[in-house]
Structure 1
């Protein structure tokens, strides 16, 4: 028997809403039903921001450094900065040199004695505002390292028009539908809320576990030498 030969299955926002209502044993009867469901879907996407790092939303940003300027704004869709380095140029190649930076917290940054000193940056602090900022220490002198490059987690895009597709990879389709059904049940059929919550938590547990990088980890014991006593 023949197969379809395609792997392009996707759902429009309207279809996601219909699927969620059907899981609640309901159908959307009015424009307000669609509106309240879309609002719940956007809240669901916000809730996913507390579920960890979603690899499909990790992006690379290249920022031109300015001599003496230590703080830089991130893109409007940035939720957090994961790792950063300074570079002698943009892109990749044998003529580009990258030096990794160490991420520090607010307390460590506050303890630095001379935050405006210039030189080769070695550390960075992320202030997690609505639009996070990246602050380097030391402030770049921009004579050697001219670019700041960092990987950041982007926010999931809003649902928008009902004819849109979601900004979600196929692995998360099941938990997106079950999550919206759970959110809707709290407003429409509270008797199903607990049941739908269990289904949603099971679906998103599997999706988040799968959304990882398959790399090896190595743990080496630390060796200590006594004083011979």
Structure 2
């Protein structure tokens, strides 16, 4: 038996949309069909962000902390922070120290927010991650972090974080591939078909079937998109005198 010897199958935007239309019992015929499908595809990836952690969107970043400055911008496409440390030193002398995340309520109860030292806590303010025009120009609502205590020296502390970013937009070109692993292709096609079935009059009878298929495909993909490292739970014991 002779096999292809390749394992590079992927779907560009045109083929992905065409497959979704066919599952709705329809065809991709006009430029508007592609435009409305692209809009639905962007909404679909936002839904995936709301469903939970997508491992391929985890990225590491770092921010050098400045003496006397408590608040710093995080990239605008950040959904959430997964973990973070305060790094001191570099190379073989590098040390990562735990930095605990606190809520806005906890931050508000800190008596002296201008106290300086090595940061041990961080408040993450998600903001809206939106960019929009206003009367004075353009407003960008970056997510921000606020550390406490406020750094007391320059070039000593680095805030190192692991974030969830947004999945990239579908894009304008029909030959573009999507910002997903290959194992999520069946899920994306099924999800787009379900979204389109709610728009196409002739596909209304297929809505429930397509929704069920989408949920099944997402479950399969999400269960595969997970960490396989062993987990060990150790109780944190604190002693008081």
**After TM superposition, is the score higher than 0.5?**
yes
- Select between 139-148 and 186-195 the one with higher mean Cα deviation: 139-148
Partner of 2:79, secondary structure, is strand
Cα shift readout 1:173-222 (whole Å, capped 9, x = no counterpart): 11100000000000012221111001001111111121111122234578
Cα shift readout 1:17-51 (whole Å, capped 9, x = no counterpart): 00100111110121111110010000101111111
Cα shift readout 1:144-184 (whole Å, capped 9, x = no counterpart): 73211100001000011211110011111111000000000
Give the TM-score normalised by the residue count of structure 2: 0.87
Distance in 2 (CA, whole Å) between partners of 1:220 and 1:140 is: 31
Change beyond 3 A, Cα 1:126–1:42? same
Structure 1, unaligned stretches of length 5 or more? 224-229
Partner of 1:171: 183
Partner of 1:133: 144
Partner of 1:53, secondary structure, is coil
Cα shift readout 1:113-171 (whole Å, capped 9, x = no counterpart): 11121101111111111131111111111357321110000100001121111001111
Out of 127, 142, 151, the residue aligned to residue 162 of structure 2 is 151
Out of 100, 107, 117, the residue aligned to residue 109 of structure 1 is 107
Structure 2, unaligned stretches of length 5 or more? 130-141
Give the TM-score normalised by the residue count of structure 1: 0.91
Contact kept in structure 2, 1:87 and 1:97, CA below 8 Å? yes
Aligned Cα root-mean-square deviation (Å): 1.7
Query: Per-residue deviation at 1:89?
Result: 4.3
Q: How many residues align?
A: 221
